Amino acid sequence: MALSLEYFAKETASNLWRNRVMGLAAVLTVAVSLSLVGTSLLLRQAVNRQVSQFGANTSLAIFVNPSATTQQQADIRSTISQTPQITHCTFLNHEQSYEQAKRVLASAPAAVSVLTPATTPTVFGGQLSNPADATTLMATFQGVPGVYMATSPVQSIHVLEQVTNVLQVVLIVIALLLLVSSLVLILNAIRMAIFARRREVSVMKLVGATNWFIRVPFMLEGLVQGLLGSAVAVFVVLLANLGVGYLVHRYHVSVLSSTVLPAHDVLMTELIVVLVGAVVGVAGSTVAVRRFLDV
Amino acid sequence: MIRFENVSKAYKGAEGDALHDISLEILKGEFVFLVGASGSGKTTFLKLLLREEVADGGSVYVAGRDIGQLSHWRVPQLRRNLGCIFQDFRLLPSRTVAENVAFALEVIGRPRSVIKEQVGQVLELVGLGQKHHRMPDELSGGEQQRVAIARAFVNRPLVLLADEPTGNLDPATSQGIMKLLDRINRTGTTVVMATHDVGIVDAMRRRVIELDHGKLIRDQARGVYGYDNSSTSRGIPAVSVASVLDEDLGPATGRVAAVRARRGIR
């Protein structure tokens, strides 16, 4: 058995080396394809995390018209307290609202410069028990007298999700096409390996080597090609996550910090990448062995 | 050791049977020549034994087993009991003499110590004890065939099948190969050799099985290539066989006593 393992390792290594040009094409295609799979998985997770972070404090911001009467303000306040979907409410006066505006609009100093504390609308901030209610509530409060505007980030989250979905579908479709071509490339690489080894194979059949013994080196070759491709992809995925982390840090966009995935999630993604690589390699070589190695 | 019972085999698209209703038995330790013109069915006969082909009708038995009934995964076991050599040697050009022989044991999972010992022994037996590390293309044709014989015999098969093993060799070298096959036969190994070589068959005086268009037309102990080689110097057999056939040969009797008696052969 020990000898067989050594034999398989030797045969596989020499097959890989003989066949290195075809093998390289197969490996690179697997690498590109799995990099796409990996990064699209990362993207999906990052967006989900970001959305759930937003969702956790999904809020309704009700800007009060600066010309609103005190009575109207009191009415708004009581309407909010009578709305069961709003669990918690904060009020920002002109000063506080101006401070918040300066923070939110930090990247647009021109907009801030036209604001004064007096002209900045006061804001009721409401916490929602269920983000799904946001749209209805926005419409309701838009109609209350004295309300300048009612907004919720739900809309932009929705857009973000839609864009992500489309992007992910596109990435997955490209990745699948590339996976199919890498399967074909591996299949072809193994076919050529079998052809190059036809003398050995015929001798092996003649002296009574078992079918599995003949097949294993070729299947291992496919597996190794798939795994080499996924190794490259693992590296790419790791770099992608580190890159996002660097950008978030570099440009101080702490709002997006949850797009940087924790090690555990990255590890899961990497595992999937490796698994898919292995499956593609074994599948390609199995088809090749079944079709071209009639034992 | 080997028994054919009413074996027939036809290839798709080919006219007539490659083998037609062959029945015979080859005992353990026999040395048998398989003769006949090209296309007479010799190679099909060997392929059936190796189970590279399966008979359409009848049964082929090797060591008591009906090999037509063997399941797919048992075929390797059958082949381990059959050594095989060919006209074109079929050595692996990228491996040395010793590696070529060792390969046959490696791929059936023999341990390294056994391989080393047996390869040394068998190369000594075939007279290549000094050439372990030579490459096949550095050897003469006769030496290459010796390597092939070593590879076929290293696992001590019950039967050695040889498909025109001297077809590419000059007469002197062929004689050496035949001596070697004879020596292997004396160890108790059954040898079945398909050949066109009249000289060898005549010189060896072993059992001869002759096929013609897939039919068994002669099965003779201590035979010669053709019947009539006593009258002509070394007659072309096909013609003379036909003339003798009618008077002498019952198809199933096999060994033809009348012919032997007439020739003064025991």
Q: What are the two backbone dihedrals, phi and then psi, of residue B169, each rounded to the nearest 5 degrees?
A: -120, 155
Compute the Cα dihedral for A93, A99, A104, A109 and give only its sign: positive
The token pair that represents A270 in the structure block: 């990497």
Is there a contact between B79 and A210 if contact means CB atoms under 8 Å apart?
no
User: How far, rounded to the nearest angstrom, does the alpha carbon of residue B91 sit from its chain's CA centroid?
Assistant: 18
Provide the residue count of chain B.
266
Is there a contact between A208 and B112 if contact means CB atoms under 8 Å apart?
no
User: Are A121 and A64 within 8 A, CB to CB?
Assistant: yes
Rounded CA separation A8/A29 (Å): 25
Q: What are the two backbone dihedrals, phi and then psi, of residue A100, each rounded to the nearest 5 degrees?
A: -65, -45
Rounded CA separation B51/B48 (Å): 5
pLDDT in tens, A51-85: 777 666 667 888 888 788 888 888 888 888 888 88
Instruction: Using pLDDT thresholds of 50, 70 and 90, give the confidence band for residue B190.
Output: very high
> Smallest Cβ distance to B92: which of A200, A213, A214?
A200
Instruction: Using pLDDT thresholds of 50, 70 and 90, give the confidence band for residue B247.
Output: very low
CA angle A56, A58, A60 (to 5 degrees): 160
A contacts of B81 (beta carbons < 8 Å): 208
Specify the CATH number of the domain A59-152.
Answer: 3.30.70.3040
Rounded CA separation A151/A131 (Å): 13
From-to residues of CATH 3.30.70.3040 in chain A: 59-152
Mutate to test the interface with B, among A206, A210, A218 (most CBs of B within 10 A): A206
User: Are A59 and A126 within 8 A, CB to CB?
Assistant: yes
Rounded CA separation B151/B118 (Å): 10
Provide the residue count of chain A.
295
Residue type present at position A208: G
Q: Shortest Cα distance from B94 to chain A (angstroms)?
A: 10
pLDDT value at residue A55: 62
Residue type present at position A5: L
β-bridge partners, A128: A86
Rounded CA separation A53/A36 (Å): 25
Rounded CA separation A61/A78 (Å): 15
A contacts of B84 (beta carbons < 8 Å): 206
Element (H, E) at B218: strand B215-220
> Smallest Cβ distance to A208: which of B77, B92, B106?
B77
Residue by residue, pLDDT tens for chain A (295 residues) are 566 788 889 888 988 898 888 889 999 999 999 999 898 888 888 888 877 776 666 678 888 887 888 888 888 888 888 888 887 788 888 888 888 777 777 767 777 788 888 888 888 888 777 777 777 888 888 888 888 888 877 777 778 778 888 988 898 898 889 889 989 999 999 999 899 889 999 999 999 999 889 999 999 999 999 999 999 999 999 999 888 888 888 887 766 777 788 888 889 999 999 999 999 999 999 999 999 887 5
pLDDT value at residue A56: 60
In chain B, how many H helices and how many E strands? 9, 10
Q: What are the two backbone dihedrals, phi and then psi, of residue B20, each rounded to the nearest 5 degrees?
A: -130, 110
Q: What is the predicted ipTM? A: 0.79
Instruction: Using pLDDT thresholds of 50, 70 and 90, give the confidence band for residue B258.
Output: very low
pTM here is 0.72
Is there a contact between B107 and A206 if contact means CB atoms under 8 Å apart?
no
Rounded CA separation B220/B206 (Å): 8
Rounded CA separation B85/B184 (Å): 13
> Smallest Cβ distance to B112: which of A3, A204, A207?
A3
